Amino acid sequence: MIYADIPLTFAIRQAVAVTWGVSDGEGVRLHGGEESAAYLLGEHVVRVGPTWRTTAEAEWCHAIGRAAAERLPEAVAPLPTPSGDTVIRVAGRPISLWPYVEGSWPDSDLPEQRVQGARLLARLHTALAGVRPPPRPRPAFQEEGLDGTPPSDAADLADPTLDRWLAAFHRERPRRHPLHGDFYTGNTLARNGTIVAVLDWDETFVGAPELELAAAALEWGDDELGPSKEFVEAYLEEGGTAAPLTEEELAQLVRHKLRREYAYFHKAVAAGVVHDEDDLDYHERRVALFHSLAR
């Protein structure tokens, strides 16, 4: 996986010191981050975002994270500035400050951690079920195609049957509330075998909870529908807001996620990202899965 190569410049550190009063050395790059880079600065984390992400979009996403943190102990939210905002801009980049939580990515190969992830997602959905934010300033990447309109950035995976199915599904499942948007192991942290944090609200949006349940089940099930079904079962046992999914519903919602991944991959290529052999192999396997689930 290609991670963002964004430095923590002196100007950014100076702005963080002036705004939040945090100045602890030059910062240590933390693992992960395809679009943003995170740096450990003492007991805090500085996140440096891409220039194309607007302040309005970042603030909207952060507001969802803050709402989740008010209701869910594991939700990690950005720290406000003295004015109450959560974003400053330095050299055109959105900068935010977060509390540091010690931990490492959980292992979805371990059934107990997979179950923990499912139960955490259920509690997160319950926490956000009553939150009613204003319209998102810009649609999230995952939203394209949900209304049945063929996504223009994934023409090679055109599938009118999937488009019609998505349109019908979202007409028949009217429940909507904020979703994390990217609930996979890399946006959570575990310590001593227990998941203690859910991070990164950049992709949050308002949608049907079944959509996120299916996407997360794929990620935590390691691309296999057997473990994915176990994830769904644990989520439902915990009382999440999504309705039970039939095998067809799980497969079709997973295919929507895979098609959006395909579009993201080619968006990165167009931006100049050069993927290594592992990335290319992963991409090819995901495309193959998209086709195999149509049968």
Q: Is residue 97 over pLDDT 90?
A: yes
Task: Indicate the pLDDT class of residue 24, thresholds 50, 70 and 90.
Answer: confident
pLDDT in tens, 98-156: 999 999 999 999 999 999 999 999 999 999 999 999 999 999 999 999 999 999 999 99
Q: To which H or E segment does residue 255 belong?
A: helix 247-270
Q: What is the pLDDT of residue 2?
A: 67
Q: Is residue 1 over pLDDT 70?
A: no
Three-state DSSP class for residue 188: strand
Residue ranges of E strands in 49-87: none
Under a CB-based contact definition with an 8 Å cutoff, are residues 6 and 36 in contact?
Answer: yes
Task: Indicate the pLDDT class of residue 3, thresholds 50, 70 and 90.
Answer: confident
Distance of alpha carbon 171 from alpha carbon 165, whole angstroms: 10
Structure-block tokens of residue 160: 């009118």
pLDDT in tens, 220-258: 997 667 789 999 999 999 999 999 999 999 999 999 999
pLDDT in tens, 150-187: 999 999 999 999 999 999 999 999 999 999 999 999 99
Under a CB-based contact definition with an 8 Å cutoff, are residues 75 and 69 in contact?
Answer: yes
Q: What is the pLDDT of residue 227?
A: 85
Under a CB-based contact definition with an 8 Å cutoff, are residues 294 and 159 in contact?
Answer: yes
Q: What is the pLDDT of residue 225?
A: 72
pLDDT in tens, 42-90: 999 999 999 999 999 999 999 999 999 999 999 999 999 999 999 999 9
